[in-house]
Structure 1
Amino acid sequence: MQKQKVSNVYFSLIYWRDFRLKIFWEGILIGLLAGVIVVLFRYLLEQGELFRTLLYQFFQDGHFFLRGIWFFVLLVIACVLGWVVQKEPMAAGSGIPQVKGILLGLMKMNWLQVLIHKLTGGILAISAGLSLGREGPSIQLGAAVGQGISRMLGRTKLEERYLLTSGASAGLAAAFNAPLAGVMFSFEELHKNFSSTVLMTAVAAAVTADVVTQHFFGCSSVFSFAGLPVLPTGFYGWVVLLGMIMGLFGVLFNYCLLKSMDLYEKTGLSLKQKAALPLLAAGILGFLLPQVLGGGNQLVNTLSIDRIGMNMIFILLAVKFFFTMISYGSGVPGGIFLPMLVLGALAGDLYGQVLVSMGFFQTGYSGNFIVLAMAAYFSAIVKAPITGSILIMEMTGSFEHMLSLIVVSMTAYVVADICKGKPVYETLLNRSLCKQGKAPYMTMPKRMVVEAVIASGAAIERKEVKDVNWPDKALLVSIKRGEQELVPQGDTRMLAGDYLYVLVAVDKADEIRLLAGNKM
């Protein structure tokens, strides 16, 4: 069986054009199915959050007995969430670290179980008011669809990795009406290289999923920032300063997120008890500060329309930050994408109001800093500045602000890098592996086919195959140069832009990427 799978992989490499066309059509199928599932997920979340809002409005008139019943309901939800995570541990948390672990061959996923439990857990947790987002679950739901299609069609592990990636792209595209960000996320965060094959299947899936989403929710952007003036380049010094601040803030976010998870572990509480703490906090905040409940996209839209005082912005920022920590730290299903964007928006609004009050800007430019801060904060936390720029551009409809978005995102990324900040999803993946008693990127007997493009200036550029110090037991299966396939020989000289396909042990995959100059 193993020999047959290797033969199938080699057959795919030999007939590469047919293989790419096949996964292109499979990407469309995955995008269609993932789009429908994420649309269902979004619709149920919207109905759940609407019900929660009406419920707290109803409670404003008293009804103390019914308030007690509501807290009891929250405890019941905590029990259900604890059961969901216990039944399917892969459904816990964001879902993005799990997808990365599967693509690296470090984790396994039962796609149908994850699909059911993630959908159920995410709806309950976010609808009940926890400060969690829909994007992480949407990406994992999309990846589960990709794996399900692969398994039902009997595809190879090589093909399954592409289909998983296309499903994740479709999930993000459908979650935020952001197909370009979905494609870029697959490059920058999941595959860590720009592959034309990944491009074909990811674009097919993301665009198809976005068409499905727009059919049900319309084509408007997630956040309403219409009519923002273009920031003059003479003010870009303030943009750079904002990027620096958000870079430091992003490092703090990652540090506090991991500490909150560690504190939960030290308490020795059960899964149900961990879920109960943030849910009870959500119940209290629902009466005191309901704006911080849920993902928070409505709060961002409020910032774009109404002027909120600086004192209130600071309170919202502080409470939302700590509530996000205790919500995600509990391990219940839900992402941090949307809460981190809300935190960035609040910080950007506060920054803009301070500059306006000091006379550096007119009030009309305040909205620019909300948009810029979201991109910067995402870039500092996730360490994916291109994805951050494109994502915020699509989510806000601010297509004419690309230059300032890139400037602020790269500044935040550089500052976070200088402070030795680690990408949050990679850190969460390593933490999850350590909890399972495995070393980060552990040694495993499994082998995988690694696709790596030779970068200009890489160690193996212009070298012959025989002169490269390849990892132990690595097999160079194929070299693609444009549309031409080269059969590797000892004297084959490798050039920048060549795509290498190497059969190697999982723990040696990163060595191949580093040889090719693909930064990890």
Structure 2
Amino acid sequence: MKNNYTILVSHNNEKMFILFKSIVVGLAAGGVSVLYRITLTNAETISNFTYTFLNQNFMFLPITFLFLIGMGYFVGYLVDKNKMISGSGIPQLEGILKGYFKSRKSWMHTLISKFVGGAIAIVAGLSLGREGPSIQLGACIAEGVGNKIGKGRLEKRILMASGASAGLAAAFNAPMAGVIFALEEIFKYFSPIILLSTISAAVTADFISKKVFGMNPVFNFPVSQTVPLNGYLMLIFLGIVLGISGAIYNYTLFKTQKFYKKLTFLNIRTKIIIPFILAGFLGLVFPLATGGGHKIIEYLNLKNGISFLVLILIVKFIFSMLSFASGAPGGIFFPLLILGATIGSIFGHVMIGNGIFDESLFNNFIILAMAGYFTAIVRAPITGIVLIMEMTGSFNHLLSLTVVSITAYIVAELLNSPPVYDKLLDNLIVQEHPEDEKEHINKILVEIIVQHDSVFENSLVKDLHWPGKSLLVAIKRGEVELIPKGDTKIMVGDYLVVLTDINCESKIREKLEKLNLRP
């Protein structure tokens, strides 16, 4: 309890200790994420070789499909034993940091199961990515480190978020995207302590990643010039297309999850067999749709016709839905970026074919569409912009990336499409049993930053209706720590430190966040 409070009001000495701990987390999380990235790269190579071999040796098809069924059942067994490894792992991480999922397997069990299950899924050819699992693996190893050197629950959670940012940094060679992702998606607010911790871990992990994989960006799209200002009206149109497409993606994904739930004659262990069998068929007839999507990148050019690109988009989209919604361990990060890149390629074909833009701008549309599609689906525009700039190694598209991403964001919001990870977390919470809210001996501190136009702004402590089982214990204003009294006025930018029972944390946090929104 004392340690939690110390972290929230810590000054230079405590921050330096967190910095060093975050570097340790970055080393550990970066190492695990790099190992996972190497494993999945080799797994995809094995998958490609296998399906190429089968196309020339049909006699091995029966035994191959038996292997796929066995692999699917084993992955289903892992998910059944530890539901925290299902899907990308990002909603599970957000839930843990918000106080949910207290009854779960150990971090080591989750790490090993996720690592093995994700690798098997890629060997089979499922349309899943490495980035979400890398984030979860980084958080798992950070939890283990935090249990040894962390002071209090709050610091351990900050280290877990740092491990998550390190995982993304190592997976994409994108340290700043890892930091922004932790702030924008996981915590959804800015805190100097969290910023310090995530930067330290992400940069450390990125250093390890670059030592292993080199300095080259993940995507290598040669770009000679930027989109001229007189073409920005069409970029807004592209943003609208991506916003609609992102809303369709989320809607289809959630409907596909419901479809799997309706298959009551199958259990968790057998449902995952479905995408494994489909991967076998696609590996024979349309291998481009299998795996994360690295193979598709080389086909995104003006030499391939629009009809072929549309075919890639449709097949990859459907298989991605069936792969992820099954609950198999794997992320949507990379596949959705590939889908966005394909949409950008089709858009570029149409624009260039009609003489609206010069063909030298073709790769620009691919880059812009990845960021816009990501933003529409995840609803994290800053992460999308920074991520694509780091992944492509080009920082000349900031203005155009912003225009497309913000437009896509607005359109997705107007269509009432929920952010994918928030909705996935809500679905997971619904599946959990209600938690016991009896008085608990263990307490925890919840921190919230007062926003503009919120209920808290310019209100006196005594005039606010605080949630039950909560107590405002401190207000941090800049470097000054205030002991709250009834007539203390709360101001924008104040850090409110609220005490609550550990088993009420998630609900208290939700109530405080609702109060912090504009009424």
CA distance in 2, matches of 1:353, 1:50: 30
CA distance in 2, matches of 1:104, 1:361: 47
TM-score, normalised to structure 1, is 0.94
Deviations 1:196-223 (CA, angstroms, capped at 9, x unpaired): 1110101011111111110100111111
Specify whether residues 395 and 460 from structure 1 end up closer, same or farther in structure 2 by C-alpha distance, changes over 3 A only. Answer: same
Partner AA of 1:513 in structure 2? E
Q: Select which of 450, 459, 462 maps to 2:446.
A: 450
Deviations 1:319-370 (CA, angstroms, capped at 9, x unpaired): 0010011111111100111111111111111111011112211211111111
- Residue 474 (structure 2) pairs with residue 475 (structure 1): no
- Residue 194 (structure 2) pairs with residue 201 (structure 1): no
1:2-13 alignment to 2 at 5 Å? 6-13=1-8
Aligned to 2:108: 112
1:148-187 alignment to 2 at 5 Å? 148-153=144-149, 155-187=151-183
Aligned to 1:71: 65
Work out whether residues 454 and 517 of structure 1, in 8 Å CA contact, stay in contact via their aligned partners in 2. Answer: no
What are structure 2's unaligned runs of at least 5 residues? none
Work out whether residues 162 and 198 of structure 1, in 8 Å CA contact, stay in contact via their aligned partners in 2. Answer: yes
Aligned to 2:365: 369
Q: What's the CA shift for 1:161?
A: 1.6
Aligned to 1:57: 52
CA distance in 2, matches of 1:135, 1:65: 36
Describe the SS at the equivalent of 1:479.
Answer: strand
Aligned to 1:297: 294
Specify whether residues 377 and 384 from structure 1 end up closer, same or farther in structure 2 by C-alpha distance, changes over 3 A only. Answer: same
Deviations 1:91-129 (CA, angstroms, capped at 9, x unpaired): 111100100110110113421110000000011102221
Work out whether residues 5 and 445 of structure 2, in 8 Å CA contact, stay in contact via their aligned partners in 1. Answer: no
Describe the SS at the equivalent of 2:496.
Answer: strand
CA distance in 1, matches of 2:9, 2:78: 44
CA distance in 1, matches of 2:439, 2:222: 54
Aligned to 1:35: 30
Q: What's the CA shift for 1:432?
A: 1.3
Work out whether residues 150 and 156 of structure 2, in 8 Å CA contact, stay in contact via their aligned partners in 1. Answer: no
Aligned to 1:271: 268
Describe the SS at the equivalent of 1:503.
Answer: strand
TM-score, normalised to structure 2, is 0.94
Q: Select which of 87, 94, 103 maps to 2:97.
A: 103
Q: Select which of 488, 492, 495 maps to 1:496.
A: 492
Deviates more, 1:490-499 or 1:422-431: 490-499
CA distance in 2, matches of 1:223, 1:436: 39
Number of residue pairs matched by the alignment? 510
Deviations 1:24-77 (CA, angstroms, capped at 9, x unpaired): 2111111110000011101011111112222223333x3222233222221221
Q: What's the CA shift for 1:438?
A: 4.4
Partner AA of 2:255 in structure 1? K
Partner AA of 2:401 in structure 1? L
- Residue 14 (structure 2) pairs with residue 19 (structure 1): yes
Aligned to 1:393: 389
CA distance in 2, matches of 1:306, 1:129: 27
What are structure 1's unaligned runs of at least 5 residues? 1-5
Specify whether residues 398 and 420 from structure 1 end up closer, same or farther in structure 2 by C-alpha distance, changes over 3 A only. Answer: same
Partner AA of 1:30 in structure 2? V
CA distance in 2, matches of 1:397, 1:197: 28
Specify whether residues 228 and 69 from structure 1 end up closer, same or farther in structure 2 by C-alpha distance, changes over 3 A only. Answer: farther
CA distance in 2, matches of 1:15, 1:188: 23
- Residue 129 (structure 2) pairs with residue 133 (structure 1): yes
Aligned to 2:87: 93
CA distance in 2, matches of 1:134, 1:70: 24
Deviations 1:264-297 (CA, angstroms, capped at 9, x unpaired): 1111212332222111111111121111111113
Work out whether residues 224 and 301 of structure 1, in 8 Å CA contact, stay in contact via their aligned partners in 2. Answer: no
Q: What's the CA shift for 1:23?
A: 1.8
CA distance in 1, matches of 2:9, 2:47: 56
